[in-house]
Structure 1
């Protein structure tokens, strides 16, 4: 039936195929070719019939469901909805929409759990009740409330004893990390140590500050202390940049005993530690390096992954006696955060709204992770219910780059381990798969099922 009712002609159409498909769906429903209650083919079946990727079909189905054009029922399928009202839409969206038809499972994005409405409400409250003048740059007096909010948000159990005077605010965790590095690095040939497989931001920050970045191998518990000591003996090193609580891309959490060993090495070799905790969303059950060695550890965090990336609100908790230096560095770079952002974030945290958002974000992440584990659980994956990505170690017959190209051919974008190693490092045979909540669940499930199918047939894709 699908072959004769509404076959969109992709050859005569311009623009992304998912837009062509949704327009064809609208027309068929409007003129009655697809009557109320008509069951549509499953995503993969329709994709095969039309010669397009399943991700394209799933994206069009998602848009049609959001418009009220279609409805989905778990276990039954997708049907034309019982409505004839015209959706209040235009053919060409006023807001920019990605022209790519690929399903992008590379970036980690905070789920939309209604924080836009909450932040707008806060803006309304501040417009009536905030007495901070919006004229000059922020000062240590006007950002005090936001720094006090960070003290409440982070807590002494995680970062040890600290107060608002130990907090320096930044434009996100990456910016905070650069500030900390600027405080720590010195000399003509500064050296940064970090995990051999690590978030690319460490590499970029090192390059920006003309530092040599040395990778230290990890095991299932994180950085190996013996290899860290070996690197310190051979290369020296002024600072270790690490993510002990929630490591991207591997999801590893370093246990307390291992952290204590590394803290002792830091004392012995006069090493500073910068702990980037930006990916940690859930409640920590292990103290950070700032709590274990407060004289030499910097704790970095932000609201980007847990509340809203739009706020660009990051922070660092400096080692004892180092905050003033960090504040001078921050002021030299950008003077300070915009006062409206300071006021919004302080209000969100101190009223408990940020915590409620974080709880809903975690709920959304757990649901996506469970879906991924259900589909890919038979493969060698590392995952945590509080992290919106999984680490997939590939089976024999696949290489990371080859598997990425095979997924690309199916319209699915993922990250190879190559993107997480230093230029002279050896990448493990693995990929990271993000689980964004702005991708419809049927679309995500289809993508994961396609990946599972690819994993089982490596010899079919030797040409990649």
Structure 2
């Protein structure tokens, strides 16, 4: 290494040029010669400046990224990060506890239809029978009954042909998606694609997995195929996470023709598809991506939104002959679901109680949707009779964040579009309103009337 910090001088270097370059970057960044946030020259430009090959620069940049010296943002470039992992602000929690006062329209909660009593009764029966070993770790043998129950819960016409060996169990749908991501992503900076507005948990998952996340523009039929292909050519994504049946926050249902086109592009570009179906509470008649492209479609769902969030029972239906790698990830991260939960959820499904609660949830959601449409129908809302939330586009004068703040001041908690937008994306002036099924009709209508009043009286001045 020469005495030059930055840029390096290769004249008297005895080591490989990429080693000299990474050593120079390391010293310059840690000594402050290259400030945090400084945009490094593009690979070809720096190669020309230093008289070396682009491959040498790319190799050094890759090493610097792995060491945390620089960060690469898709479409923006490479930036100095400061040479060490920096503390980031704590992100807002994904789950907000029920407050003693006010109305919660943020979370999507399952209706209270008597699940508590039924779950306690089943657990008491399990204790009396004592059929399962409550001492050892769960295994593919001890969770077989629960996996077999899933094959009866999901219709084969929706997910294609599958059996218990294709099912992997997880601690809810989010945990299940994380398992799939760990199983399929590879390389130092993999690329995840998803809808332009998406569940905030996918941003957190991408950050934990050191992956880039790219949003794809949507229309009324779902993800736009032209934008999907454009993004694949530009970024080279490895996996698409999509909520084709019930997209949150927009309520969009991807049409069959659109699903077929997305599946065709996934095959063309060798992309895995993870379909997150957690918000679906009905029995849809359109096949999902696991059925449309069984060699690369991963179907993920849970009992959370239709039966009970407390049991944390999620499941994956893997593509053909790919369950093994996902099961290995699950076993290496949490071993498996607790045996009491396995036995409980298997009986909930096989006894018919889960289906009974699902049907009651569907009926309760329909009731809430009708009330919401009656009270907010004059505004620009997107809704479906089978979806437990509405998407409210705000009139001129309101932004999502300012409207959510104004609602919060009146004791009503909602989610602004900003919470669903990706790091490089733009949030529309809109909010998601969860139709809380567990408050009285009077409280529900009063809160929605308050929202309607706010919509009719936007701030006098607002920076749009």
Indicate the TM-score class for this superposition, using the shorter chain for normalisation: 0.7 to 0.9
Shift of 1:387: 1.4
Residues 52-91 of structure 1: pairs in structure 2 closer than 5 A = none
Give the Cα separation in 1 of the matches to 2:270 and 2:177: 19
User: How many angstroms apart in 2 are the aligned matches of 1:401 and 1:298?
Assistant: 34
Task: Tell me the SS of whatever aligns to 2:176.
Answer: helix
Q: CA deviation at 1:242?
A: 0.4
Q: 1:262 to 1:462 in 2, by over 3 A?
A: closer
Correspondences of 1:312-331 after superposition (within 5 Å): 312-331=312-331
- 3-state SS of 1:373 partner: helix
Is the Cα–Cα contact under 8 Å of residues 397 and 461 in structure 2 kept in the other structure? no
The match for 1:192 is 192
Deviation at 1:137, TM superposition (A): 1.1
Equivalence map 1:140-155=2 (5 Å): 140-155=140-155
What secondary structure is seen at the aligned counterpart in 2 of 1:354? Answer: helix
Unaligned stretches of 5+ in structure 2? Answer: 1-96
Structure 2 distance, partners of 1:461, 1:389, is 29
- Matched residue of 1:309: which SS? coil
Equivalents in 2 of 1:269, 1:463: separation in Å?
42
Contact 1:170–1:336, Cα closer than 8 Å, also in 2: yes
> In structure 2, what is the equivalent of residue 211 of structure 1?
211
Partner Cα distance (2:440, 2:192) in 1: 40
Q: Distance in 1 between matches of 2:144 and 2:198?
A: 33
1:417 is displaced (CA, Å) by 0.3
SS in 2 for 1:311: coil
Partner of 2:103: 103
Q: Distance in 2 between matches of 1:341 and 1:240?
A: 30
Cα deviation per residue 1:194-214 (whole Å; 9 max; x = unaligned)? 000111111111111110000
Describe the shift of the 1:305–1:228 C-alpha distance in structure 2 as closer, same or farther (beyond 3 A).
same
CA contact (8 A) 1:246 1:280 kept: yes
SS of match in other structure, 2:310: helix
Larger relative contact order (C-alpha < 8 A, sep ≥ 6)? 1
SS in 2 for 1:458: coil
Q: Deviations over 1:96-135 (max 9, x none)?
A: x966533221011111000111111111221223411111
Residue number in structure 2 paired with 1:381: 381
Greater alpha carbon shift after TM alignment, 308-317 vs 381-390: 381-390
Q: Is 2:162 aligned against 1:174?
A: no
Segment of structure 1 superposing worse, 136-145 or 98-107 = 98-107
After alignment, is 369-378 or 98-107 more displaced? 98-107
Contact 1:369–1:388, Cα closer than 8 Å, also in 2: yes
* DSSP-derived class of the 1:162 partner: coil
Per the alignment, do residues 462 and 447 of structure 1 end up closer, same or farther by CA in structure 2, a change over 3 Å counting? farther
Task: Tell whether the 8 Å contact from 2:146 to 2:343 is kept in structure 1 after alignment.
Answer: yes
Deviations 1:10-55 (A, max 9, x none): xxxxxxxxxxxxxxxxxxxxxxxxxxxxxxxxxxxxxxxxxxxxxx
The CA RMSD over aligned residues, in Å, is: 1.5
Shift of 1:151: 0.6
Residue 431 (structure 1) aligns with: 431
- Report 1:283-302 matches (<5 A): 283-302=283-302
Output one character per residue of 1:292-344: Cα deviation in whole Å (capped at 9) or x when no partner: 00000100000010100010000000111110111110000000000010000
Q: Residue 114 of structure 1 aligns with which residue?
A: 114
Q: Judge conservation of contact 1:274–1:297 (CA < 8 Å) in 2.
A: yes
What is the TM-score normalised by the length of structure 2?
A: 0.77
Gap runs ≥5 in structure 1: 1-96
SS of the residue aligned with 1:126? Answer: helix
Aligned residue number for residue 263 of structure 2? 263
Cross-structure match for 2:40: none
Q: How many residues align?
A: 368
Aligned to 1:401: 401
Aligned positions of 1:220-299 closer than 5 A:
220-299=220-299
Q: Which residue of 2 aligns with 1:445?
A: 445
DSSP-derived class of the 1:240 partner: strand
Tell me if the contact between 1:406 and 1:461 (Cα under 8 Å) persists in the aligned partners: no
The SS at the match of 2:343 is: helix
